[in-house]
Structure 1
Amino acid sequence: MSTAQELMNLQRARFPALDSTLPSSYPLPRNGEPLMAKLPNSEPVAGLMARTSNPPGSLQRLWSTAENFELFPLLGEHPGDGMNALLEAWREQLAHRDVPDTDSACLVTWPSRDVRASRALLDHGFTPLSCLAVRTPARAPAAEPNGTVKMRRAGPADLDTVVELALAELEYAALVGGSVVRPDAARLKRNAVHLRLHSAGQPTSERTTSGRTGAEPVWLAERDGVPIALAECGWVDARRNHSGQRVSDGKWAYVNCVSVREQERGTGVGQQLMAQVHHEFAAAGVVGSYLYYNPANPLSSVFWPRQGYRPLWTIWEVRPATALR
């Protein structure tokens, strides 16, 4: 058995002890570049490094840098010293690569509860820019009737409204997390929203190669007929979707974007909207729901735990990639 496989086996056995919600698998890139390091006692640790380019005009550039260097560690039973040794080896490896000093990042996605690894990441200059948070599918009550706030599903005629609210969320997220407001952000969002709203007419049995199903729901909350909040959501088969590899197998719901108009924040409309969303998630029989939020976001970091979400994986980043210590 190879050293990497031994480390993977030990790591896969250790993860459930950290958090029973972690999946049994650990995703590795198909074409990653091997990386090896040794602990002070000469025990080995390993990893794979993958470079991803997000070209101009790609939707990914709205929540990511143009060039990403991502490390997939295999630390066995040594999360602290192992992560530290591997990051030192990674820094040396990148010193011999063509690494842009602007619009680039080093990334490591790691279980949120593995705090020994967190210490090593912090020491090497990483920031917890985002986390994947999960919620169990306990049946939520439908939103309480409100004389002024109504919930409804959005359709193609709501394109302008949904784009406006989605761009407002992007602009706020760019101040407190990894999102980037690119010059073509409005066009990219409009194209994505157009596809999402028109998917509402597809049968739920339709699937795509990414693991998503059709009929991706978009909800609007309205006060006196005026849209004031948005929830863009969808469905994922965790066995067929890259993001889903971070959660256990089965059908999951995901929350792509929630946006509340600034003057309506703090009125409870966001909670009412998500109560409706979670009610429908539960009715669909999903394993659970997940989303990404920024720990540094003073709104999201309070709102989402109150809705029952907790961090499962943390996405650590150094921007630019050349700032890795």
Structure 2
Amino acid sequence: MLPVILDALLRGQAARFSGVDPLLPEPAPPPEGPVLTAALPGGERVAGVVTRTLHPPGAAQTLWSAADVRELHPIVGSSGAAGIEALLRRWRQVLEPAGQDSACLVTWPSRDAEATAPLLAHGFVPLTVLAVRVGRARTGPGACAVRRATLADVDLLAELAMAEVEYAAMVGGGIVRDGAAAIKRGTVARHLDRGDPTWIAERDGVAVGMVEAWETEAHPGSWARTRVRAGRWAFVNCLSVVESARGTGVGRTLMDVVHSALVGPRSAGSFLYYNPPNPLSPTFWARQGYRPLWTVWELRPADALR
């Protein structure tokens, strides 16, 4: 497809996104990869770039992702549902065979309700959302004591983080693989070694939860800039509360600490991922001031694409 047509589609998509949700960033140029094109009933053409990511055994991503990920990045201008439908039909025609540990992904603005019907019809489910919170921190009375974690807490943190992985696996997002505990421990240790802020919630000296978060700058060319508007953001990587303490205010207290520490006058806000099928997450995060910005539509295995 000629670059001038791609440019026109990107401009049309930017205009559509700005009308759908004012918090969406301007669409970034698509990544490198094979270009997929499809025709609409009226003769107009839409496009998409297909990327493939292979996560090796032992990679941290394998705790929330299939090992073989095929992702479609739609460039459909202002066509909305019609463009998504045409691209998904075309993608199914050219999709290469995949194994059981595989997935198809499409990330699309959460408030663009038009895209829902074609994605559901082709077998996708809204498995993950990127949610944002803007505005200054608001805190309430703490439900527990909270302290900053150190390298000496790595084993404790790994155990708490694994509780989140195991719960997420029940509701479709996480995958408890062989060696998951070791993978999670290594990830936690790397974040602590880098100085990424991590906090532990305690009651009577017993750990009942943890949260891991850090600041990231959304600048041109960065991954964050493709998902949020330019500026400094707090990213919440993991929040975990032990089963016996859920619903008692521990999660809210931990998030109050994150917001107070990382969301200041120069911050654009904070963002995170959660799983809509999780019966606890949507209500909890809405109460903390977060709302969906992007929905990650997924189907596993990739061959299930209809």
**TM-score category, normalised to shorter length:** over 0.9
Report the alpha carbon displacement of residue 323 of structure 1 after superposing the two structures with TM.
0.5
Distance (Å, rounded) in 2 between the aligned partners of 1:274 and 1:291: 12
Distance (Å, rounded) in 2 between the aligned partners of 1:192 and 1:277: 20
Report the alpha carbon displacement of residue 177 of structure 1 after superposing the two structures with TM.
2.5
Task: Show CA shifts across 1:74-103 (max 9, x none).
Answer: 111111111001100000011xx2x22301
1:275 matched to 2:249? The reply is no
Report the alpha carbon displacement of residue 179 of structure 1 after superposing the two structures with TM.
1.6
Match of 1:124 in 2: 122
Paired positions, count: 303
Distance (Å, rounded) in 2 between the aligned partners of 1:273 and 1:199: 21
Distance (Å, rounded) in 1 between the aligned partners of 2:297 and 2:137: 32
Q: Which runs of 5+ in 1 are unaligned?
A: 201-215
1:294 matched to 2:296? The reply is no
Task: Show CA shifts across 1:113-139 (max 9, x none).
Answer: 111111110111100000000000323
Tell me the amino acid that sits aligned with residue 189 of structure 1: K
Match of 2:141 in 1: 144
- 1:181 is aligned, of 173, 176, 190, to 176
Match of 1:235 in 2: 215
Runs of 4+ in 1 over 3 A off after TM superposition: none
Change (3 A) 1:286 1:177: farther
1:26-41 equivalence runs, <5 A: 26=28, 28-30=30-32, 32-41=33-42
Distance (Å, rounded) in 1 between the aligned partners of 2:9 and 2:194: 42
Distance (Å, rounded) in 2 between the aligned partners of 1:58 and 1:2: 39
- 1:19 is aligned, of 21, 40, 60, to 21
Distance (Å, rounded) in 2 between the aligned partners of 1:304 and 1:112: 15
| Preserved contact between residue 125 and residue 323 of structure 1 (Cα < 8 Å) | yes
Secondary structure, counterpart of 1:55 in structure 2: coil
Report the alpha carbon displacement of residue 27 of structure 1 after superposing the two structures with TM.
5.0
1:155 matched to 2:150? The reply is yes
Secondary structure, counterpart of 1:297 in structure 2: coil
Report the alpha carbon displacement of residue 150 of structure 1 after superposing the two structures with TM.
0.7
1:29-108 equivalence runs, <5 A: 29-30=31-32, 32-94=33-95, 97=96, 99-108=97-106
Change (3 A) 1:27 1:236: farther
Tell me the amino acid that sits aligned with residue 266 of structure 2: G
- 1:219 is aligned, of 199, 211, 217, to 199
Q: Which runs of 5+ in 2 are unaligned?
A: none
Change (3 A) 1:27 1:242: farther
| Preserved contact between residue 231 and residue 273 of structure 1 (Cα < 8 Å) | yes
Secondary structure, counterpart of 2:277 in structure 1: coil
Change (3 A) 1:145 1:315: closer
| Preserved contact between residue 220 and residue 230 of structure 1 (Cα < 8 Å) | yes
Tell me the amino acid that sits aligned with residue 242 of structure 2: R
User: Could you say what the CA RMSD is over the residues aligned between the two structures, in angstroms?
Assistant: 1.4
Distance (Å, rounded) in 2 between the aligned partners of 1:63 and 1:174: 8
